[in-house]
Amino acid sequence: MNRIISALRRFARLWVLGVHHTLASRNRRPFELGTTDVQTALNRLEHAQLPGPVFRTSDVTNHGNLGFVADPFLHVEGRTVHLFFEVFSPHRDPTAAIGHAVSDDEGKSWTHTGLALEADHHLSFPYVFTAADEIYMVPDIANSDDYRAPARLYRTTSFPLKWEPVADIITGPDKYQDTIVFQWGSRWWAITGTGSNDELSVYYSKTLTAPDWTPHPENPVVTDRPSAGRPAGRPLMREDSIVAFFQDCTAEYGDKLRAYEITSLDTLTYEDRPMYDGALLEGSSGLGWNSGRMHHLDIQSVNGKIHCAYDGDVGVGRNQISGSMWAIGVGTTDSTGSGQ
C-alpha cells in the first residue's frame, strides 16, 4: 500500500509540474504594464494576472534535483539584465545558494550562467545594489544553523560570479531575515525581519561598509504584524517617503505581498502605513504557476524603462503531494507606455 501511495504522489507531482510548465510555456513573453511611471506600475500590479515564469527549476542545469527558484533581484546595464535568485535543493547541504542568469535582450530570453555565491550555510534573498560605482549584495543567511547569523555585506570582485565579504553590518542575538539596505538622507539604513515573520528592526550607519551598524532606539520598530513583518524586495525612494514591500504571512509564510509607505525614518522615529487596502501581489488561484502564493518583488526604473521581477508558487497539490514550487517571472516595459 505504501508503494502505491508513493507512486500516486509521484504521479500527482508530475501532473502538477506538467500543468505548471505548460501554463508557463504559453506566457514566456514579458508582461506589458503600459505605464508612465513606477507609481502607475504599482497601481497596475495590484491584483494583476502576471504571466510567467521566465525562469524555473528546469532552467538550472548544474545544481542537482532542485526544489524551487525564488527571491529574484535584477541588475540592469543597458539592454543587459542580470538576474540573481535563490536556488533551493532539499538534497544538498547547505540547501540553498545564489544563482545567476543573464539576458541580452531586456528579459525576452535568459541564459543560466551558474552559481554567483555559495557558502557553507544557506543563502537566499540576494539583495543586489550599486553604490559609488561598486556592486554589493546582502544575501539572507538567517536560515543557517547559526541562530545568530549576521546580515553580511558582499562586494563583487569580478561581476557577476565572484564576491567577497566586506563587513557584518548587523550582528546580535536575532535572526536577521531578508535585509534591505538603502541610502536615505545622510545615512545608510537597513530594515530587517527579526521576529517570526511579524517583526521589523532598523539599523543605520554613516558608512555603508562599516561593521556593526547602530540599532534604532525603537527596535523592533514593528511588532506583532504578520501582515507586513518581513521585507519582500527592493525599496523605492521617493522625494519625501520610501516605498517598502513586505510579506503578508497571516495565513502562511509568503502568502501575499503588501506595499507600505515609510513616512518617517530617522535616528529616533519610524512610521509606515499601507499604500493599498489589500495585497499588491497574491496568488491567482486556479492552476497557474503563481496560483498559490506570491512573496517577492523587485521593481526598478532604469534608462526610461521599468524592470520588474517577482516569484510565485503553485496552489493545487502543494503540501499534499509536493513542497514549494516557486518560480520567477520578469517583465520590462517602456516608461512611455509601449510594452516590450
Nearest CA to 144 among 169, 171, 119? 119
| 249 backbone dihedrals φ, ψ, rounded to 5° | -110, 25
Tens digits of residue pLDDT in 262-314: 999 999 999 999 999 999 999 988 888 899 999 999 998 888 788 999 999 99
Q: How many CB atoms lie within 10 A of CB 166?
A: 18
Tens digits of residue pLDDT in 73-112: 999 999 899 999 999 998 888 999 999 999 998 888 899 9
Pairing of strands 80-88, 242-248: unpaired
- Three-state secondary-structure class, residue 2: helix
Helix%, strand%, coil% for the chain, nearest 5: 10, 45, 45
Checking phi first, is residue 129 left (phi over 0); if not, alpha (psi -120 to 50) or beta? beta
Nearest CA to 71 among 270, 329, 337, 340? 329
The band of 144, judged by pLDDT with boundaries at 50, 70 and 90, is low
Nearest CA to 182 among 162, 158, 153? 153
| Residue-level pLDDT at 147 | 64
Tens digits of residue pLDDT in 226-250: 999 999 999 999 889 999 999 999 9
Report which secondary-structure segment, H or E, holds 7: helix 2-25
Tens digits of residue pLDDT in 28-71: 333 444 445 788 778 877 766 676 788 889 888 877 788 999 99
Predicted TM-score (pTM) of the model is 0.88
Burial 35-44 (b: 16+ CB within 10 A, else e): beebeebbbe
